[in-house]
Structure 1
Amino acid sequence: MQRIGHLLPVPCLGAARWAAGICAPGSAETVHPTARAVLPEVLYGPAVAPPQARELLRAAEQLAQVGADAVVWGGSSADLHGAAHARAVARWIEEAAGVPASTVTLGQLGLLRRQGLGSLALVTAGSAGVAGRLADTYVAEGLKVASVTALGLPTAREAAEVPVARLRRLLLEADVPDAECLVVAGTELPVAPVAALLERELGKPVYDGARVAVRTGLDLVGLAVDAPSWGSLFTAGGHTGVCCDSH
């Protein structure tokens, strides 16, 4: 049994709500407890202050001690500071935990690259300013951001508590014809329960941070999960069994 550790900023739920259900058909499980770092979700980076680095490393070591075979950093703040920052975070975690590590940012970019997707409709739970910075990260990696939707929710808790039916309507409205996929930044919006339905309705992939975090962990340990009820990210034929990004 492979064990995947999820490392999150303190206020976030991240992939914890969905990981067990998604991984149930396979030979992987989430390490419990999920490690948490006392770091601000949005203000973290790009230059990591020593106290922040120590906190990140402490949480990574905690996951190593409980037997994680891979670690995924689920803080979407790395999206705000670009892929180079995300790669630096992954290296710090690997050095502390002694196992392969990645981030939601790198997982997202790696998936888009491997699927040959060049344009996206971007959705974020946060403000228009945050959305613009997220869009810059994707553009810097050679992707086209066909549309940007900011829901304007001020806290992770409010994002996590958006009714699923309302979220489905919002995501359908966020799509545009030029987008080859829908990317939902962050790990808090409850996309997972409606991801498969949204993909059928839109006719294109939907990649949200929480499910990408689970998929990234599976890729790091070389496992595939056949759980199509959770969307196209979890059809066994769609897995490559390789790490999402080199760093």
Structure 2
Amino acid sequence: MSTVGFLYPGFSAEDDYPRAEKLLIDRSRLALVHTEMPEDAHREDALLAIGGDEVLADGARRVAAEAGPLDAVVWACTSGSFIFGPDGAARQIAALERVSGVPTSSTSFAFVDACRRLGIRSVAVGATYPPDVAGAFVHFLTHHDISVHTLSARDIITAAEVGTLPPETVLEFAAAVATDAPGADAVLLPDTALHTVEVLDALDARVGRPVLTANQVSIWQGLRLAGADVDRPGLGTLFRRG
């Protein structure tokens, strides 16, 4: 049994984490705290603010105080990590790891590691973000040798609005993204504000290839870093071993 601490900005799809925890048959714990979000906006200045070192350090200290000893920590925000650029995102996690004292990552790096685990070299991205922010995610992926076939950006400004999208809308969005990129190995949905845990297997089935979502890869990364990387049904292709 492992305990992973998640730092989650604001309020939108944080209930994906207790939903996922119920599927973890080894009783691993997914402990979550909400980090400061002065402004809910998918805009560069707002995203840089929520991903600041002091904001994340405060979150790491609080989740450790509330959950007890941790085996790993994840900054569960894609845009609040890749917006710093590849080098800045790496520095962000290095600073957070010095505070947490345990293996630490972010959702942006979780996407890269998940693609490597599955042998995914080319992707289609379905982003809820405005085009400029979505483009920064594409840059992050290509820096890490992941080819982006197509990018679809829904231009939703707030995480709160993203969190209201119903499951069928998520399924339809992923299917449309996949249709536009028949040569891509997988579809990526890179927003932790998007509810996806309840439809992970359905997403893979609808699209016919792996669909990686932000909360899914965050949870997988945390468990992997904690040494609890085992086969877990109900959480999509990424969690199935062999």
Q: CA contact under 8 A between 1:123 and 1:148: conserved in structure 2?
A: yes
Determine which of 196, 199, 203 is the counterpart of 2:208: 203
Which residue does 1:73 correspond to in 2? 75
Matched, 1:172 2:175: yes
Distance 1:86 1:167 in 2: 27
Which residue does 1:213 correspond to in 2? 218
Superposed displacement of residue 48, structure 1: 7.6
For residues 25-77 of structure 1, the C-alpha deviation after alignment (integer angstroms, 9 at most, x for no partner) is 1231112x52423465653699889x932222111111222322211001212
Q: How many residues align?
A: 234
Distance 1:63 1:187 in 2: 18
Shift in alpha-carbon separation, 1:167–1:12, aligned structure 2, 3 A: closer
Which residue does 1:34 correspond to in 2? 33
Which residue does 2:92 correspond to in 1? 89
Superposed displacement of residue 181, structure 1: 0.3
Identify unmatched segments of 5+ residues in structure 2. none
After alignment, is 118-127 or 8-17 more displaced?
A: 8-17
Q: CA contact under 8 A between 2:23 and 2:233: conserved in structure 1?
A: no
Superposed displacement of residue 180, structure 1: 0.3
Which residue does 2:106 correspond to in 1? 103
Distance 1:42 1:58 in 2: 23
Matched, 1:54 2:54: yes
Normalized against structure 1, the TM-score is what? 0.85
Paired residue secondary structure (1:122):
strand
For residues 130-184 of structure 1, the C-alpha deviation after alignment (integer angstroms, 9 at most, x for no partner) is 2222111111222211111111222111111111112211110111211100111
Q: CA contact under 8 A between 1:124 and 1:151: conserved in structure 2?
A: yes
After alignment, is 190-199 or 98-107 more displaced?
A: 190-199
How well do the aligned residues superpose, as a CA RMSD in angstroms?
2.4
Q: CA contact under 8 A between 2:33 and 2:62: conserved in structure 1?
A: no
